[in-house]
Structure 1
Amino acid sequence: MNLDLLLDNLTNPALLFFLLGIIAVQLKSDLEIPPNSSKFISLYLLFSIGFKGGQELAHSHFNLEIIWSALFGILIAVVIPFYSFFILKRKFSFENAGAIAAAYGSVSAVTFVTAVSFLEIQKYTFSGHMVAIMALMEAPAIIVAVILMRLYNKKETNSTNLSSVIKHSLTNGSVLLILGSLIIGFLASDQQAMGIKPFTTDIFKGFLAIFLLDMGVVSGKKLDVFFKSGWFPVLFALIIPLLNGASIAYLSQLVTSNVGNRFMFSILAASASYIAVPAAMKIVAPKANPGLFLPMALAITFPFNITFGMPIYLSIILCC
């Protein structure tokens, strides 16, 4: 791995604000972002990345690469929760195994947004259709996890309709906003897009830094309870994302030669959902413990990816 790339990422202001949030909790500071402000910032980030992705897509030529990339993304979202479930089933109940598998098979929009900033710093670009692929990867992992949980649920039959799970995944606020923004960005003319560029682009990194500060505070509050669960969830939250990200960083060359697109594939494979999946699990797996899969995704995998994962995945891509 390129040491300069790692050091550059470690001094990224967005990452440092995340660490500041964790430190604030450890120091028992009253530092926090008001819930309404935090929600607004998360909505802004999704809107911005979706709109800019739509603009990129509008300037892209539809071709076989986009089709193969979409199929590749869906395949990733199916395979990861499938094999993860059987690893997790050794230590956890089928409800918890399914919820964690769904989280790691699905994607993190915030990690994706952070990856966009990382690519900009490294002077690489990615295609707008990657935003659509990110949205497509939300639902398959949840569906696979639900099917596996039903197969292993021998004591009772879950009455939740699979179609309602799919609908919930597609109408989840984060998925709907980023898809809607993608379509609006695709339809907007260059002149119209320039009219809101100060909002969609110029202030993006500042809002990202504040949002990661809030994520640091949230993660810091969950760490103590999480570590009481033993070392297995910690190791899983570190090793599995690294394995997924590194594997896809290499295999993605089968569908695209674009460095930015390959990097986005790897970060999508390595990330874990802590927005759409927890919401879906409340419906399909109410017995699953959110105090387990939320800290794994938010307090372990997310900081690992933005600290060490991104430089590792990019180094693999550049080497092959």
Structure 2
Amino acid sequence: MTTNPDGVAVVEVGPRDGYQGIGPFIPTETKLSFLERLHAAGLTRIEIGSFVSASALPQMRDTPALLAACGRWPALRPQVLVPSERRGRDAAAAGAREIAYVLSVSESHNRNNVRRAPAESAAEYARLLAALPAGTFVRLNLATAFDCPFEGRIGEARVLALLESLVPMRPEAEICLCDTTGRADPAHVAALFAAAQARFPEARSWAFHAHDTYGLGLANVHAAYRGGVRVFDASFAGLGGCPFAPGATGNVATEDVAWMFARMGVPTGLDLDALIPVARDGAAIPGGLPGGRVRDALAAGPQACAAP
């Protein structure tokens, strides 16, 4: 993650969001190889997996082993996703020191995901915070903050009402608003972040998690950036899609985000030349559903811009 105050931080979520829906199990050593290459391309904060039921998401069953292996890269900040107090405690016991707790604004999505109402998940978040070791970095992911696959567009008031109960629990937590279905548009993104930042000035860090289902991932990232957001999730090769959000495709591609910000002169700390080969190999993972445009555009070479 870049420390330049004028730059942005890109959080690589491909090893979690990108892999979780892939059927054929990706060997642990293959996952570690991708982690090593992503880290070498400048990604220092990577969501390496999630602590979840192995029966529900078998691709994530080796997350504890991956977490243990991350010690070989001292500068890497491995982040893990947890959907409940129990899984958060499991992650902490396994040595996780960067935990992303996820709950949905939409009751339908939250119940489909973790069989709980959002208020119940909020209560679990409070108990987990009390149980975490001192110094644990906490991110709060609000899934379906813009749209729900079951309920449609989510009203701004519902998001703010849930944050009213969550933000005071740990104001220093990083708060990530997630476009779970990819149906958000730039105006919606800008308006929700503006409202949330105005309502909760005590919140120290805001992040945005974009999906590219309708091709608006980069536009939404840009809208959030213009609104003052400086932390962005992305997935190499555009891999991903939520198993509990039918029709959602992958996150906005890491290489696309890196290219856009480079063109804008905004530092990311990423080496695009090193990232593109990793993305090309990621797009070839059996069972994966890649997205993104930059790696193919760059592969076409200068002739892509030749005059007709």
Question: Shorter chain as normaliser: what TM range?
Answer: under 0.3
Query: Which is bigger in relative contact order (C-alpha 8 A, separation at least 6)?
Result: 1
More strand by share: 2
More helix by share: 1
Q: TM-score, normalised by structure 2?
A: 0.24
